[in-house]
Structure 1
Amino acid sequence: MNPRETAIRPAPTPASHDAGVPDYVRDLERVAAYLPPDQLGLLRRAWVVGAAAHAGQTRKSGEPYITHPVAVAQVLAEQGLDVETLVAAILHDTIEDTPLTYDGLVAEFGDTVAELVDGVTKLDKLQFRDRQEAAAESFRKMLLAMARDLRVILIKLADRLHNMRTLGAQSSEARERIARETLEIYAPIAQRLGMNLIKAELQDLGFRALHPWRHAVIEKRIRTQPVVRREALVQIEATLAQRLAKEKLINRLVSRVKSPWSIYSKMRAEHKNFAQVMDVFGFRIVLRGVADCYHALGVVHAAYKPLDARFRDFIAIPKANGYQSLHTVLFGPYGSPIEVQIRTEEMDLIAERGIAAHWSYKHGSEGSASAQNRAQSWITGLVEAQHATGSSLEFLENVKVDLFPDEVYLFTPKGDILALPRNSTALDFAYAVHTDVGNRAVAARVDGKLVPLRSKLASGQRVEIITAKSSAPKPQWLEFVVSGKARTSIRQQLKQLEHEDAVQLGHRMLDRALEVLETSLERVPTVRMDAYLAEQRYARLEALLADIALGNRMPAQVAQALVRTAPDKLERREVRAPSAEDRILITGRERGVISFANCCLPVPGDEIMGYHTAGKGIVVHRLDCPNVVEYRKSPDRWVSIGWDRKVEGDFGAALKIEVDNRPGALAQVAAAIAEADSNIDRVEYLERDSNLAVMRFGVEVRDRRHLADVMRRVRRLGVVLGIQRF
């Protein structure tokens, strides 16, 4: 929104209905002629109210400010929007910048118009600065406004489009900032909502403002195409038209002209020069019905041979934004490929207008409603995700994945279609089905074959997720998921699990510390506990326990503080020394609060000790680790721990193996480790010459006994000269 340059003062209402009506208002009414007469009268009334409210205000170009909101309404009228949206567009700046109030708009035009204006007013206050925290928070607020009524973002997109059309009056710095914001935020949103006409113009205007010289050069090259190319275009068009006519297919055949932005983007993305990008002929065939589309596909394939693997059926499997069309690429008669899109009139309208078609085409036809439903479900999903994200930057990072969709289309076991970003895995699919399915996923069946969750999926595959009640998200999952929903859900669940584990471990640690003082957590009076929590600024006991587990509070110190406030008889008790029974038993699955030292890599069965580290929780070391000597100097941080009876999962260990340096030696060692049912995490050479190679193998084992079995199998190999544990 542009800054105002003059003060607000009231303006007189026009003397009669048509007197003094400027041309820009008549232009709006002409474009909005699809509205009934009474609604056109409401538009005129909105202009009268808006003109009076904005009287005396001008744009940077010097024009009366009211010309801008009327132009925004005209952009929306060209999309066929309803009268409430057009009225709200005319009045979209009144609440913030004029004496008009929300209640005044309700009284004059009703609740819906007032809510739309209020929603756009909130959006107008947003200032995007790319990836900075403020920008991310603004983006979050914008999506929440969209969720309340999609028409809010339609007005904002039209507002941005008119501002881009009149960008010349701005300073060079403002032009660059607004153009970059348009390309990074608004054009992708228009694309995600299926509004390709507005998206294309926003991209091209943004490109021209950001790189005027590059835009001018490409635009000139487009205008001055060689005569040979123009003749070829005409010849191909005539051939296609003739073939379609012979089949009695009523159609609208148009050649597609690439925009400067699309050419520039393709040149950069595919590292092609201008001639290579332009060496493609594009046509769109618009027909009456779906059956005609498939008939026309056969006609064009008979006219020119199709390129293998370049056919896409977006009619049977629509894109996530509701886009439907058949795409095929043909061998052209001049050695250049011919790109053809085939669709119905309704599909063409939805492809150009997206969710705006919902209000303009047959007033709620199945296709247009579908486009709106898809957009609404996308935004609803984003609103759910934003509640789970830890920060606005994380939210923006996740949403940008969905704003630039290069999608794959997948089938559920029931035949439903899900669209996911390119390179999505079976785990992304699981979270797309439902968050609970993702959290409990253990494997997947793709086209009937069992595959791991990290397997990448391709369009057309049928995917079934296998779940288990005992399964839970793992931090490693974040390394291979690509969809925003999966990433957000995993992070949220991991934080919840880590907190629960931290509370449980902290409870055990504080209890052990209190037992040394011959009391327990349950025996500390509630009043004394509440006083301590208030003094240390903890809202709940769980927060204190989690902090203890994470090493931010020492359990012995907390125990002493609680005991000191207890009765005198408790203070006079003799403090006993810790015994073996005081050890805290761990399973190794305590997420986020237990970690295993890389210096000694303990496994179940090893004698271990824990070192309490602030922010990291307990770091577990083997008792024979060289670093333990140093840690013994801080007895207050030394935690007596041991292994629980039930320890599940795999643990990392390291082996130093000396082998004859001859071909096949490494393969023999790897095979022996695999036969022992162990995975190799990593391998590195420590020493190597013509006769001997010393390697470090990182392996995964269940416990000390399993590690011994691995070492025994490797030691039997004839190529192995020695093996020992690091």
Structure 2
Amino acid sequence: MPGQSTPVPLSVPDVEELVALVASYNPKSNGDRLRAAYAYGMSMHEGQFRQSGEPYFCHPVAVARILAEQRLDDDTIITALLHDTIEDTKASYSEISSRFGEEVAMLVDGVTKLTNLQLSSLETKQAENFRKLFMAMTKDVRVILVKMSDRLHNMRTIDSMRKEKQQQKARETMDIYAPLAGRMGMQWMREELEDLSFRVLNPEARKSIMVRFIKLQRETGDVIERIMKDMRKVLRKAKIQADVYGRAKKPYSIWRKMEEKQQGFSRLSDIYGFRIIARNEMDCYRALGAIHQRWRAVPGRFKDYISQPKTNGYRSIHTTVSGRDGKRVEVQIRTSEMHDVAERGVAAHWSYRDGMRYENKFAVAPTEWIAALQDTFASEENHEEFLDAVKLEMYSDQVFCFTPKGEVIKLPKGATPIDFGYAIHTRIGSRCVSARVDGVRVPLWTRLKNGQSVEIITAEGQEPQATWVDIVKTGRARAAIRRSLREAESERFAKLGRELARAAFEHVGRKATDKVLDTAAKTLGLDSRLEVLAQLGRAEITAQEVINAVYPELQKVQGDLVPYRRALIGLEPGQSFERAKCCEPLPGERIVGITQRGKGVIVHAINCDELAAYEDQPQRWVDLHWHSGTHEAVYSVTLELTIGNDAGVLGRICTLIGEKKANISDLEFVDRKPDFYRLLVRVELRDVEQLHSLMVMLEAESDVAAISRHRATLLPGGADLGGPSRNVRAKAGVQTP
């Protein structure tokens, strides 16, 4: 049985052992490059130790060995040796790139970023981390292979960690890394990760299974060897050349079956598994026939993944038969190439044979299945829903059903006709009203079985129902249903919101036009006017808030006004100041002063381009800020407006400015066209908040095509080029408080 601990090495394993292991499957491997990476990694981790007391570099070497046992390329092995250097040592990306190449540096950096993901945090954070994890896999799956091997070695040596840390790592491994390994086709790694986690999370249950299994062996003898002998005899009689292997299932696998079937250990029959590795695909089916002739097949326990492979490339025939004494045994039949993919999953893509990359025809290109997995979850906007979908897909088994045209649709076990419809196309799933399975009309909640023919009946106008969320099994269907429900709900509330907005704006003598609502959305930080209306309909915001976003009520001035001469804090006694003509700073904006001979202090906005001219004169800079309180409306600012050339437009614009208590001190047309005017308007304001409110209100007007704050351009040395009449000011964005 698995789970036996190995002694902790007191020194780092010799590099030649690793070089020899890699050379055994890749004779053209660059041993000197591996030795250089080994030496560099050891020097970087020198003086670092694991909690077990062994040198830290033992860990990267062990990770590299795990990957070498999967026959991976030199770059991946080197990445394993260096995978913690950027994170835990003084090594840098650029140094690794210069020494071992850009590809290795990118892989090491990718592993480092994955290591920094806190995958055992809160659910919403965990879901976002899943997204990042899938993005990392899309770039290069070898990043995940290194990380998975890193986790496997950490789980093998978890006993040296604190108990609470062991629990955290084991739960994270059980929830994320083990199912991910299964999804990647690395079944051996999934089983070991699950069992190592099981030993931490439920040691009593694991010990109980181990004790019962040992007792069963004593009572029945070596059942595995006897069944293997019988199978070899049957295959020889049928003149089929094949290798037969048998094993007992892992403790966690046995425990899971006990939990699923609600059976005790004594009643659990299929605790043994056997594999028949045939020479070719035809012999696989011949072997199946021979096994079924000799032993009785268990109904409902047959799956043909050779004719219908899994998305990760897995191919095998699965059957369960009643063996000696009525005991059930599971038999998997496959070729050696299929077995390579079954054991190593996507890692088989990097297989080497005689020093050359070997193209296993059954190995799926890693980017293909990762992209397919990402597409499944791409439409999930809600983080918790995304995480549910991920875990659902991770743990799913598959059934294969047929369309009326004979096309095969792969679905997880327990899927319904609704899942089937969405698997074909989102539109078909959304318009599904009923289904026929094998020609018989069935309810939409019917669970589909292998080999059934399914016909989806649709109707125009049909929309997904809220109850479907609890019926469907696939993440894709749930995502599409939830998205449709959200859209339908938003449309419903948006209609209500539009009526509320219309009534509220009419009450204040305005109209809730699309442009007004667009402005409100921008001010409120919402995505669109439809979102404004939907939130208004859901009572998440009030109509008054929407009105205030475009036409805020004037604040009453409280207390005395701050006079212009006392507007600034930071001046020396008796020191005078002027606002810079280039940026015309307003109270509420961040400012800085520049001393000017004969003019006192010139006050600039902190982001004024003209300040660059004084970077080498720090002695002239003065730290200033505006006095708190309500300032006098004496601060001039120039606005550039483009307005429609219609009767009464300019008058309405001036009236609106007056309503904002802003005085117009100058106005000049700089461009006249038959259909529009462009003009510069100089207004006197209190502060930047009043400017922002004025510009938002003007922007919402249908007759205003464009509005921006104007700034003057100065000649070298700070001389103003002139006032608005010279038309030399440059556009700039609105300064927000």
Q: Please, what TM-score do these two structures have when normalized by structure 1?
A: 0.68
Shift of 1:163: 0.6
In structure 1, distance between residues paired with 2:322 and 2:524: 75
User: How has the CA–CA distance of structure 1 residues 555 and 221 changed in structure 2, closer, same or farther, with 3 Å as cutoff?
Assistant: closer
Q: State the partner residue of 1:391.
A: 382
Within the alignment, does 1:547 sit opposite 2:535 as a pair?
A: yes
Q: State the partner residue of 2:67.
A: 76
AA of the residue aligned to 2:251: P
In structure 2, distance between residues paired with 1:530 and 1:325: 58
User: How has the CA–CA distance of structure 1 residues 223 and 32 changed in structure 2, closer, same or farther, with 3 Å as cutoff?
Assistant: farther
Shift of 1:306: 2.3
User: How has the CA–CA distance of structure 1 residues 183 and 130 changed in structure 2, closer, same or farther, with 3 Å as cutoff?
Assistant: farther
In structure 2, distance between residues paired with 1:358 and 1:218: 36
User: How has the CA–CA distance of structure 1 residues 554 and 396 changed in structure 2, closer, same or farther, with 3 Å as cutoff?
Assistant: closer
* Superposition pairs of residues 364-513 of structure 1, within 5 angstroms: 365=359, 367-370=361-364, 372=365, 376-384=367-375, 386-451=377-442, 453-467=444-458, 470-512=461-503
Structure 1 range deviating more: 466-475 or 291-300: 466-475
In structure 2, distance between residues paired with 1:364 and 1:448: 46
Q: State the partner residue of 1:13.
A: none
Shift of 1:335: 2.6
- Verify the 8 A CA contact 1:281 1:336 in the aligned structure 2: no
User: How has the CA–CA distance of structure 1 residues 151 and 545 changed in structure 2, closer, same or farther, with 3 Å as cutoff?
Assistant: same
Shift of 1:416: 3.8
User: How has the CA–CA distance of structure 1 residues 38 and 466 changed in structure 2, closer, same or farther, with 3 Å as cutoff?
Assistant: same
Shift of 1:518: 7.5
Shift of 1:477: 2.4
Shift of 1:287: 0.6
Find the partner of 1:115 among 97, 106, 128.
106
- What SS is found at the alignment partner of 1:409? strand
The answer for unaligned runs of 5 or more in structure 1 is 1-20, 571-726
Q: State the partner residue of 1:247.
A: 238
Shift of 1:185: 1.4
- Verify the 8 A CA contact 1:358 1:368 in the aligned structure 2: no
Within the alignment, does 1:166 sit opposite 2:157 as a pair?
A: yes
Across the aligned residues of Structure 1 and Structure 2, the Cα RMSD in angstroms comes to 3.2
User: How has the CA–CA distance of structure 1 residues 187 and 98 changed in structure 2, closer, same or farther, with 3 Å as cutoff?
Assistant: same
Find the partner of 1:63 among 54, 64, 68.
54
In structure 2, distance between residues paired with 1:324 and 1:332: 24
Count of paired positions: 544
- Verify the 8 A CA contact 1:329 1:339 in the aligned structure 2: yes
AA of the residue aligned to 2:259: R
- What SS is found at the alignment partner of 2:55? coil
User: How has the CA–CA distance of structure 1 residues 416 and 147 changed in structure 2, closer, same or farther, with 3 Å as cutoff?
Assistant: farther
Find the partner of 1:191 among 182, 192, 213.
182
Find the partner of 1:26 among 16, 19, 22.
16
User: How has the CA–CA distance of structure 1 residues 478 and 241 changed in structure 2, closer, same or farther, with 3 Å as cutoff?
Assistant: same
Q: State the partner residue of 1:261.
A: 252
Alpha-carbon displacement from aligned partner over 1:193-214 (angstroms, at most 9, x marks no partner)? 1101111111121122233344
In structure 1, distance between residues paired with 2:166 and 2:507: 70
Within the alignment, does 1:207 sit opposite 2:186 as a pair?
A: no
User: How has the CA–CA distance of structure 1 residues 161 and 171 changed in structure 2, closer, same or farther, with 3 Å as cutoff?
Assistant: same
Q: State the partner residue of 1:357.
A: 348
In structure 1, distance between residues paired with 2:655 and 2:225: 103
User: How has the CA–CA distance of structure 1 residues 535 and 156 changed in structure 2, closer, same or farther, with 3 Å as cutoff?
Assistant: closer
User: How has the CA–CA distance of structure 1 residues 108 and 168 changed in structure 2, closer, same or farther, with 3 Å as cutoff?
Assistant: same
In structure 2, distance between residues paired with 1:211 and 1:567: 75
User: How has the CA–CA distance of structure 1 residues 430 and 257 changed in structure 2, closer, same or farther, with 3 Å as cutoff?
Assistant: same
Find the partner of 1:125 among 116, 134, 138.
116
- What SS is found at the alignment partner of 2:30? helix
Q: State the partner residue of 1:99.
A: 90
- What SS is found at the alignment partner of 1:236? helix
AA of the residue aligned to 2:153: H
Q: Please, what TM-score do these two structures have when normalized by structure 2?
A: 0.67
Q: State the partner residue of 2:662.
A: none
Structure 1 range deviating more: 493-502 or 192-201: 493-502
Structure 1 range deviating more: 331-340 or 65-74: 331-340
Shift of 1:414: 4.7
User: How has the CA–CA distance of structure 1 residues 290 and 32 changed in structure 2, closer, same or farther, with 3 Å as cutoff?
Assistant: same
- Verify the 8 A CA contact 1:361 1:368 in the aligned structure 2: no
- What SS is found at the alignment partner of 2:348? helix
* Superposition pairs of residues 587-626 of structure 1, within 5 angstroms: none
Q: State the partner residue of 1:334.
A: 325
- Verify the 8 A CA contact 1:444 1:466 in the aligned structure 2: yes
* Superposition pairs of residues 81-92 of structure 1, within 5 angstroms: 81-92=72-83
In structure 2, distance between residues paired with 1:503 and 1:396: 29
In structure 2, distance between residues paired with 1:43 and 1:352: 26
AA of the residue aligned to 1:176: Q
Shift of 1:569: 11
- Verify the 8 A CA contact 2:156 2:196 in the aligned structure 1: yes
* Superposition pairs of residues 516-665 of structure 1, within 5 angstroms: 520-522=511-513, 540-553=528-541
In structure 1, distance between residues paired with 2:60 and 2:548: 69
In structure 2, distance between residues paired with 1:265 and 1:451: 32
Shift of 1:456: 2.8
Alpha-carbon displacement from aligned partner over 1:25-56 (angstroms, at most 9, x marks no partner)? 22322321212344233222211221122222
Q: State the partner residue of 2:622.
A: none
Alpha-carbon displacement from aligned partner over 1:251-304 (angstroms, at most 9, x marks no partner)? 111122222222222223223333333675532211111110111112122222
Alpha-carbon displacement from aligned partner over 1:360-406 (angstroms, at most 9, x marks no partner)? 16646454333x45xx4453244345543333222111111111113
* Superposition pairs of residues 218-233 of structure 1, within 5 angstroms: 218-227=209-218, 229-230=220-221, 232-233=223-224
User: How has the CA–CA distance of structure 1 residues 412 and 111 changed in structure 2, closer, same or farther, with 3 Å as cutoff?
Assistant: farther
- Verify the 8 A CA contact 1:24 1:71 in the aligned structure 2: no
AA of the residue aligned to 1:125: N
In structure 1, distance between residues paired with 2:332 and 2:529: 63
- Verify the 8 A CA contact 2:437 2:454 in the aligned structure 1: yes
In structure 2, distance between residues paired with 1:394 and 1:353: 30
Find the partner of 1:154 among 145, 150, 154.
145
AA of the residue aligned to 2:534: A
Q: Which has the larger radius of gyration?
A: 2
User: How has the CA–CA distance of structure 1 residues 271 and 49 changed in structure 2, closer, same or farther, with 3 Å as cutoff?
Assistant: same
- Verify the 8 A CA contact 1:252 1:287 in the aligned structure 2: yes
- Verify the 8 A CA contact 2:349 2:359 in the aligned structure 1: yes
- Verify the 8 A CA contact 2:434 2:444 in the aligned structure 1: yes
In structure 2, distance between residues paired with 1:116 and 1:90: 12
- Verify the 8 A CA contact 1:140 1:392 in the aligned structure 2: no
Shift of 1:347: 1.6
Q: State the partner residue of 2:579.
A: none
In structure 2, distance between residues paired with 1:62 and 1:273: 42
AA of the residue aligned to 2:18: L
In structure 2, distance between residues paired with 1:471 and 1:77: 55
Structure 1 range deviating more: 273-282 or 241-250: 273-282
User: How has the CA–CA distance of structure 1 residues 541 and 206 changed in structure 2, closer, same or farther, with 3 Å as cutoff?
Assistant: closer
- Verify the 8 A CA contact 1:327 1:340 in the aligned structure 2: yes
In structure 2, distance between residues paired with 1:225 and 1:348: 29
